[in-house]
Structure formats: structure tokens, C-alpha cells
Chains A and B, each alone.
Chain A
Amino acid sequence: MKRFPGSDILWTVIWISGLAAVMAWDSAYLNAPAFAQVQEAFLHSMIAGVVTVVLALCFGWIAGVALYFFEQRRSGWAGVLRFKLDLIRSMPQILGLLTGYVLLTFFLDRGIIATQTGQLLWTSFVISIFLFIEVADVIIERIHHYAASDFVPAMLGCGIGEGRIVNVEILWRNCRAHLLNKAVSVFGMAIFLQCSVDFVVSVGLSTDVNLTNVPVTLGSLLAKIDSKQDVLAMGIVFTDPSYLPNLFVRHLQGVSTAFVIIFTLLCIARISEGIAKRYRL
């Protein structure tokens, strides 16, 4: 443990090593088309997760800072913005995402979104709409925390702009650790939501939209018939433990997809905890 400066670094190493081990194992024992699908699904999920984080950070930052300034100026827009944020907060994330997929089918039908990249971006956008509140809450809390410090009025008194004080001096210089921690947890939530919803979507959302025309992700790959059989095979182990070794050679697609999802979520939770511990958040 002492080799690593913190458990966040340790768990990042464990995560990357674990994924590398799964990929190495799959490359040896999983058939080439299935392996290509696992890789593609993993890549799509990660890309969507990262894009979600970037969008959530941008939206959260803008919303948090805007709310602070509206409140400072006692503007009526503060109430409007807070109402909108609360409205999004009150909506179950999973329902929101399903609504986003309904819209996606509409866009696909009309040819408004034609490429896989566009579909992934749309998915990320929809997830970020329901996750940026988390970032906005951190931003607002941090601004209020630091606004009570003397350095804010001291800088104002020296003619430094309030925008710079909030964005640079408070958020950038003092809150990067908080935001990094939130970004990691948003990434975890994005992966979880995406896998859950993709799994649900794969059961059937529209007669025109199915797994063949939506980019494959870990969630949708898990819902494929082959993967489902692999997952069901895990149940056999409970009645026949001698079947266990077969899981790692004959049912790799479903098993490795399920493992990657669970392992990723576990590692991200641990990384987030580690960051909180390291920076004493």
C-alpha cells in the first residue's frame, strides 16, 4: 500500500490492471467477433461516460455560478433557475433517460441523428442533463463557503472582478479537488445509468429502433441473447460448482461484460473515496 500515495491511485491502478487482464483473457479465449464487440461496447461506454462528465461539469459550473450571481443581485432569475434545477432534480433519472431515448428514436426516424457518434453524444447529453445538478450543488456550496472568507471582500476591495474571484480564485484555485471527486462520481453514475437504460432499451423500445442501429454499449451488449445465456450460465454454478471453469472460457462475452460493468463501478466508487480522503473533502 505504501507504494501508492493514496487509495485513489491504488484503485486506479487496480481498475486499469483488471480491465487489461480481462481483455488479455478475452483475446485468448473469446471468439474474435465477440471480442471485437466487447471492446467496442467498452469503448462506447467509456466515451459516453467521459463526454457526460465534461458536459455535466460545464452545465453544472454555468448553472451554479449563474445562480450565485442572480442571488447576489436579488434577481428574479434566481427563482426561475432554482425552480428549473429542482424540477430536474425531482424527476427520476432513469425516466429522464428513457425519455431521451424516445427522442432518440424520433431523431433516428427523421434522420436528424444519423451517425453513431451523434447517437453517443445525444445519449451523453441526456445523461448529463440529469447529472449536472450534482455538479451545480457542489459549485454553489463551494462558492458560498468561500464567499464567507475575508479574501473575497478583500479582493473585491482591490478592484478584482467578481467573475474572476468566483471562477478563478474560488472554483479553479480552491475547489479542483471537490470537482475532480464529483467528476469521478458523475462518471460512475453515467456508466451505471447508461448500462441500466441500454439494457432496458434493448428489451424493446420501438419497432424501428433496436440494437442493430444504436451503438453497442456495455449495457446493450449484456442484453444480447448470447450474453443473457452467459449470464444465465452463472446460475448453473450454484447447482453444479464444477461448471465454474466453463464460465471463463465458454461464456466469456456475458461474463466479461458483466464483470467489466461491476468492476468499473466498484473501482470508481473506491477512487472517489480515495480522492475524498486524500484531499480531506
Chain B
Amino acid sequence: MNGRQRTYSIRISSGRQKLVSVDDFSLQEGKITFLFGESGIGKSLISKAVYGLLDPEELDVTVNGEDYRLFLRRNETRAIQQFGFFVFQEPSTHLNPLLRLEEQLREGSLAGAPSETSILSRLWDSSSYRGVTDLLRVYPKPDRPSGGEKQRVLLTMAFKKIALLKDTPSHARSALYVFDEPSGNLDNHFRDQFLSILCEYHRQFRFTAVVITHDYSMITSLHRHQKDMLSAIAFREVFRKHQRLAVRDFAPSVYTQWADSLQPAVMPRQLSAPIIEFESGARVFGKTLVISKDANGTSPCALSIAPGMIAALKAPSGTGKTTLVKMIMGMSATARFRMTFCGEVLTHQMPRFYWRKHLWGKMMTMVFQHADEALNPSAAVKDIFHGLAEPAIRELLSEWFPDNTDPGFWKKRVRYLSGGEKQRLNLLRSLSLQTDLLILDEPLNGLDFESMTRVLTMLRMNQRKAQAVLIISHNDDVFDRLVPAEQTYYLHAR
């Protein structure tokens, strides 16, 4: 049943800067390859090179030692493009702003595919499908539809293209379907829907596909809901080895066993008074933010975290989770709130000076969600840890960047780091501060498996030192196991 294995040796550089150098990137025909690895390591670039999407005028590219211009002319490459589909990570770049979404769903070869209604209704909440038909009549603009909606439209287009295999099953092996971070803008429910549709089509057509992701929790979802498909799936991981990229098999059991081994974080000091109590009912932008311990928000309560405790804050995207933690940090200028922190009552009326002098970096700190924006791009790696002694910084870096043997890394500008490296620095900066309260906004975003384990180990260590931790994360697979149910808070905006 298994098809042949396509192996690629890829070199990509821009001027003097080497972007990708990988020797052993292989794809099993007729299988879905899940390609993991930290953000920005080069997964997308490798896949684009194989799919024939790179511009040889802009980049110096060779594939299997062959000039990219020649590679693009090969029949194999043409077949990949002609019968396949590439779902881009950033959906806005893929959609034509001059065509309505419904027109794009039926454009070119997609016109011959079965209707998209069933796919759309599964990728959207079917109860609001009427809204989807309205949405399909719009021209895509940068801010409308939302990133998640655009992503769902693109996934629908990809599935329609796959459905064409019904008439031409022989193309299943030669074509390539690439899904670049397909769940980047979707919540866990719709991520599972995507995986479900993908697997259904694969059972029918046995096509070759690549799913690029740094969301390792997809493994759990596949194990839970698509067990019969595991033999048709290859899990691979891109990693850096001596300044070069390499691809290795990733045993899913490594992740599942690790995830299963996660235990709820137990409070070391059961009787400690809460370090923070943030009252429900804070107001911002005309909305009231209600905190509760039940998912429906029927019984509001204060968000309370004791020393050595890990709590989680959950809510659908856009509810205001980040806004709420910014209030806790005293960084939301327009909010109205009240909380008790270390026995002191703090409100929105406290002067900024107070937070700066007594709290920020001393008693509380926060890891911002997007490492790209949370670090000064012009700063060098060593500058991120301003105030720490050089030996301490070197020790932290050697621990968190064990594969990085580049002596110049110390002085490397942040803008030249991969997304995963930035996220590690972003976390490390705050984790090393030993504050009473640590707030983490999507801490596992963009990390590879090893870094994820390292983050959780450090969290445990900090917990033992009585640090209180508040986590916002869509990675329920990890944090539902780590955070006790009674320490999970739900946020509702009313």
C-alpha cells in the first residue's frame, strides 16, 4: 500500500545568508506527513521549495543538487502543483482581493469539484451557517473576514481540490497537498474538525500531504479520534544540528507518554493566603469581564492564586483574556478594576509609578503572547537579560539553547532568530526573574517538544519556590493535565 519515498536535499540562501540547508527531507507517497518543529526553523521554506513556490530570481535554491529553475521544469514538480494545493500559513496572502470568496471557492479547477457546503458547515459552527453564506459574498480585505474565517475558506478550497481525486485517482500520489499551520487561527474544536475531514478524505483517496505545525497536541487528537489513520501518518520533526537543519522521525508515543505523565500542579503550601485576588466585574471598552469557575459563568468569583499554585484562564478568542492579565499588570489604561495583591488593594487609579517602582519585574512579571513583538528586534541576545550577570546569562542560554554552539549567538540580533528561539528568550527573560506572580500568555506557542518540556520543568521549579503562575493557553492538551480543575477560571465578556 505504501508508495515510494521522495527524498530531497535542499539548499536555500539569500545572498550570503544561508536560510535552509537540509539533506534528508523525505515524504512518503500516499501518506500524511506531520512536520513538527519550532516556529521559524524553516519548515514552511522547505515545503515551499518542494512544492515549487520559491522564486529563483530572489533566492538561491538547489534541490537535490539541481538548480531550482530546472527543478521547476520537472514533470514531477509540475504535477505537484497542478493537482495539489498549498494552504498558506498567512491566509491573507493566498486570497485574491478582487474576487468574492464564493467565486474563489469555484475558481478554475475547483469549479468541477463537489459543492463546498458540507465542508463549510463542518468548519463553521453549523448553527450559524447562514452567516457563512453572507460572508462568502465579501471581497477579502486585510481585516475582514477574520484570520480564522479566511483560514477555513482556504482549507475548504484545499478539500475541494482533494475531492477532485474522485475522478482522477491516479493523481493522488503525484499531487502534494500542503497545510501550513492549518490550525493557527482555529480553536481546538475546529482543529479537530479539520483533522477529521482530512482523515476522511485520506481514507478515500490516499493522497500525499504535509501538515506543517508546531502544535504537538494534534498528536493526542489523532490518537484519540483517528486511531485507524495512524498507520497512514508519518510524524517528523525538523531540528537544528550544528547550524544545519535536519529532519528526524518523531515517535508520537514520546509526546503522548509525556503528556500522560503530566500531573496537576499541587500546592506546596496548602494554607497559604492567595497572593492575588482579582475581582470579577472589571470593565474595559464598555464590556464587563466576568470571572467564574464554571464554564457557563453563572457564579462569578474572584481570580485567586496562592503562592506555588498554577492557575489557568480560559475563554474563546477575543473575549479579553490578554486584556485582563494586562489589568493585573497595571498596563491597561482604560480599564476599571480592583484586586488585592500581596495584601495590598490595587485599583485602576493607582499611579503607573507605583507599579513601576514596586511591582514590575520585582513582584510580578508577564510573558507576552507574540515573541516577535515582545522582544526588541534590534537588541542582541545578551541585552534581553539586562541586569543579569554575564555568567548567569551564559548558563541560562546554554541550558535553553543546547544545540546552539555558535559563539556569535550571544551577540546575535533578535531579528535574525527563528520564532522558536525568540519565544524561548521571551520565556527565559521572565522565568529567570523569580517574581511572586508570573503571567504566561500562550507560553508554548512556536516551541518544539524539547523546549516545551523545558518550560514545564522550569515552571515546576518556580512553583516549588512558591511562585504563583497564571496561564492563558489554548493548549488544553497540556494545561488541562497540569492545572487542577479547581484552579481553572473561565472568562466571559458581557
Chain A positions within 8 Å of B, measured between CB atoms, are 72-73, 149-151, 153-162, 164, 169, 173-174
Contact = CB atoms under 8 A, between A and B. Distances in A.
A160 B370 CA distance: 19
Contact of A174 (B329, B361, B366, B378): B378
B387 A159 contact: yes
Nearest to B332: A153
A173 B386 contact: no
A75 to B, nearest CB: 12
A150 B352 contact: no
Contact of A151 (B326, B366, B376): B376
Contacts of B433: 158-159
B474 to A, nearest CB: 19
A157 B376 contact: no
A80 B433 CA distance: 39
Contacts of B329: 153, 157
A173 B379 contact: yes
Nearest to A151: B376
B331 A158 contact: no
Contacts of B375: 151, 154
Contacts of A174: 376-378
Interface string B327-368: 001010000000000000000000011001000111011111
B374 A164 contact: no
B433 to A, nearest CB: 6
A169 B331 contact: no
Interface of B: 326, 329, 331, 352-353, 356, 360-362, 364-368, 370, 373-379, 383, 386-387, 426, 429-430, 433
A198 B443 CA distance: 63
Contact of B429 (A153, A158, A169): A158
A158 B373 contact: no
A164 B329 CA distance: 20
Contacts of B386: 160, 164
B378 A173 contact: yes
Most B-side CB within 10 Å, residue of A72, A150, A153, A154: A154
Nearest to A156: B360
Contacts of A72: 352
A162 B331 CA distance: 13
A118 B356 CA distance: 44
A157 B373 contact: no
Contacts of A156: 331, 356, 360-361
A169 B377 CA distance: 10
B348 to A, nearest CB: 15
Contact of B368 (A73, A150, A160): A150
A156 B360 CA distance: 6
Contacts of A154: 366-368, 374-375, 426
Given A153-B331, A156-B331, A157-B331, A173 B387 contact: no
A156 B361 CA distance: 7
Most B-side CB within 10 Å, residue of A157, A158, A162: A157
Contact of B361 (A149, A157, A169, A173): A157
Contacts, number: 65
B160 to A, nearest CB: 38
The 6 A-B pairs with the shortest beta carbon distances in the complex, nearest first, are A159-B361, A150-B373, A173-B378, A154-B374, A157-B366, A154-B368
B384 to A, nearest CB: 9
A173 B377 CA distance: 9
Nearest to B432: A158
Given A156-B356, A158-B360, 4 more contacts: A153-B329, A158-B433, A164-B386, A169-B379
B365 A158 contact: yes
Contacts of A160: 361, 386-387
Nearest to B366: A157
A164 B326 CA distance: 22
A150 B378 contact: no
B369 to A, nearest CB: 8
B361 A158 contact: yes
Contacts of A161: 356
Contacts of B426: 154
Nearest to A174: B378
Nearest to B373: A150
B356 A162 contact: yes
Contacts of B379: 169, 173
Nearest to B367: A154
A203 B370 CA distance: 63
Contacts of B366: 154, 157
13 contacts: A150-B370, A150-B374, A154-B366, A156-B356, A157-B329, A157-B366, A158-B361, A158-B365, A158-B430, A159-B362, A160-B387, A169-B376, A174-B378
A155 B326 CA distance: 13
Contacts of B370: 150
A145 to B, nearest CB: 13
B84 to A, nearest CB: 36
B376 A173 contact: yes
Contacts of B377: 151, 174
Nearest to B370: A150
Contacts of B360: 156-159
Contacts of A153: 326, 329, 331, 368
Contacts of B365: 157-159
Nearest to A152: B376
A161 B362 CA distance: 12
Nearest to A165: B376
A164 B361 CA distance: 14
A150 B365 CA distance: 14
A58 B356 CA distance: 27
A6 to B, nearest CB: 15
Most B-side CB within 10 Å, residue of A151, A158, A173: A158
A147 to B, nearest CB: 12
A155 B356 CA distance: 11
B362 A155 contact: no
A73 B352 CA distance: 8
Contacts of B383: 173
Contacts of A173: 376, 378-379, 383
A127 to B, nearest CB: 31
Contacts of A159: 360-362, 365, 387, 433
A105 B437 CA distance: 65
A77 to B, nearest CB: 15
B294 to A, nearest CB: 30
Contacts of A169: 376, 378-379
A61 to B, nearest CB: 18
A164 B331 CA distance: 18
B292 to A, nearest CB: 26
A70 to B, nearest CB: 13
A181 B429 CA distance: 33
Contacts of B362: 159
